[in-house]
Amino acid sequence: MCLAVPGKVISIEGGTGLIDFTGVKRKASLELLENVTVGEYVIVHAGCAIERLDEEEALKTIALFKELSGSDDI
């Protein structure tokens, strides 16, 4: 029920964005966020973008998980 999927905003029309979920494109409302721009990553739940992905934090997390699992295979 709380599944939210990350995707990239590829175009915006009014309050609606076209989001690319690694190949699958779907529309989502951007009205729960302020000033979303094309090229940003957002997470989408029930047809609405509920937050932006923080790239810096995401990269830190990837690096942390790589270090913890002793694996480059992430």
Partner 1 sequence: MMEGLKEAAAKGFAAARFEELVKKGHGRTFSIMEVCGTHTMSIAKYGIKTILPAGIRLVSGPGCPVCVTCQGYIDAASDIARRKEVIMTTFGDMVKVPGSGGSLADARAEGADVRVVYSPLDCIRIASENPHMQVVFLSIGFETTTPATALMIMNSRRLGLRNLSILSGNKTLPAVLEMVASDEGRSIDGFLYPGHVSVITGIASYERISDRFGIPGVVTGFEPMDILHAVFLLLTNIINGNNTVINAYSRVVRNEGNIKARTITDEVFEACDAYWRGIGKVPGSGLKLRDKFKDMDAWKIFDMIETESAEPTGCICGSVIMGRASPEECGLFGKTCTPDDPSGPCMVSSEGACAAAFRYGR
* Binding region for partner 1 (CB under 8 A): 1-4, 6, 29, 31-34, 41, 43, 45-48, 50-55, 57-58, 60-62, 64-65, 68-71, 73-74
Judged on CB neighbours under 10 Å (0-12, 13-18, 19+), 7 is: buried
Instruction: Return d(Cα 15, Cα 12) in angstroms, integer.
Output: 7
Q: Provide the minimum distance between the beta carbon of 38 and partner 1 in the complex, in angstroms, as a whole number.
A: 16
Nearer to partner 1, 4 or 11 (CB): 4
Cβ contacts of 15 within 8 Å, gap of 6 or more:
29, 30, 31
Residue 18 vs 51, nearer CB to partner 1: 51
Nearest approach, Cβ of residue 63 and partner 1 (Å): 12
Rounded to the nearest whole angstrom, what is the least distance from the CB of residue 31 to partner 1 in the complex?
A: 6
User: How many angstroms separate the CA atoms of 57 and 45, rounded?
Assistant: 20
